[in-house]
Amino acid sequence: MKKSLRFLYLLLAFGLMVTSTVNVKAQCAACTAAVETNAKSGDGATHGLNNGIMYLLAAPYLAVAVLGVIWYKKYRRKNVDLNMRGEKFNLN
For helices 29-41 and 45-75, the axis angle rounded to 10 degrees is 120
Domain extent listing, the chain: 26-76
Q: What is the pLDDT of residue 80?
A: 65
* Closest to 26 (Cα-Cα) out of 57, 63, 48, 61: 57
Q: What is the pTM of this model?
A: 0.43
What's the pLDDT score for residue 82? 67
- pLDDT tens digits, one per residue of 17-70: 888 777 656 667 777 777 778 777 777 777 777 778 888 888 999 999 999 999
Rounded to a whole number of angstroms, the distance between the first and last alpha carbons of the chain is: 28
